[in-house]
Amino acid sequence: MAKHSHRESILEAGRKVMFRKGYIGAGVRDIVAEASVPQGSFTNHFRSKEEFVREVLDRYFSDLQRAVEETLGRKDLPPRRRIERYLELITGRLADDGFRRGCLIGDLSLEAAPQSEMLRTRLMEIFSEWSAAFAVCIEEGQASGEIADTFSPIDLAEFLLSAWEGAILRMKVSRNAQPLERFKMIVLATVLKDQSL
């Protein structure tokens, strides 16, 4: 009979611990304790904490890409509404966690990027892919006249993600939705103002 692998448990535990303690504060002991597995299980599956975090990050981004697809990918909705739905979906997820957990991509950008060139490079790739999805939606909105074409789609997408990540950081401090709601209100009334009105 094959020996049970603790890999999945460790990855899930690592995500939870990193949300609570951050990249630097999340030690291997904390992770295996959360997973209720022996410490040797970590080294059996991962060569380093850095490689482990890369895999946790990739899994987190895969989940985020599904959220992007079910909102920005909704061709049956106008582009501006798709972006609004994305922001609403993520706000709901953050509310479900009591506004205590932020975005792992943003958290790792602050903590891990200065510590690990591998993670910094991966985060750059993630931001590029993430921005591209917003840029496609914005470009469609600009083509239909729904979104102003004052700025290029990629510049607007980069700005939106940077400002959104900043709002999430503020949310972690206030532990309420106010920074997220303020972001949505201002962005929808200015940058993504409906040009057809």
The CATH number of residue 38's host domain is 1.10.10.60
- Please report the pLDDT score of residue 141 as a whole number: 95
Is there a single domain that holds both residue 62 and residue 135? yes
Question: Based on the structure, what is the number of domains in the chain?
Answer: 2
Q: Residue 196: pLDDT above 80?
A: no
**Listed range (4-8, 30-34, 101-105, 151-155) with the worst mean pLDDT:** 4-8
Q: Does the pLDDT of residue 4 top 80, yes or no? A: no
Residues 184 and 123 in one domain: yes
25 burial class (0-12, 13-18, 19+ CB within 10 angstroms)?
Answer: exposed
Task: Say whether both 22 and 110 belong to one domain.
Answer: no
Whether residue 98 is found in the same domain as residue 178: yes
Domain that holds residue 143: 49-189
Is 107 within the bounds of a domain?
yes
In the prediction, which pLDDT does 193 show?
79
Mean pLDDT of the chain: 92
pLDDT tens-digit profile of 106-165? 999 999 999 999 999 999 999 999 999 999 999 999 999 999 999 999 999 999 999 999
What integer pLDDT is reported at residue 197 of this predicted model? 55
Asked if the structure places residue 194 within a domain, the reply is no
Selection from 154, 156, 141 nearest residue 195 by Cα: 141
CATH number at residue 53: 1.10.357.10
- pLDDT at res. 28: 92
Work out the burial of residue 150: count CB atoms within 10 Å of its CB; fewer than 13 is exposed, 13-18 middle, 19 or more buried.
exposed
- Tell me: do 69 and 137 sit in the same domain: yes
Q: What does the pLDDT read at residue 195? A: 65
Distance CA 19, CA 160 (A): 23
- pTM over cut 0.85: yes
| Shared domain check, 20 and 91 | no
Statement to judge: residues 81 and 139 lie in one domain: yes
| Tokens encoding 85 | 């739905």
* pLDDT at res. 1: 37
Q: Report d(CA 183, CA 94) in Å as an integer.
A: 15
Q: In this structure, are residues 14 and 30 in contact, taking their beta carbons and an 8 Å threshold?
A: no
Q: Average pLDDT of 160-188?
A: 96
The pLDDT, as a whole number, for residue 2 is: 40
18 and 74 together in one domain:
no
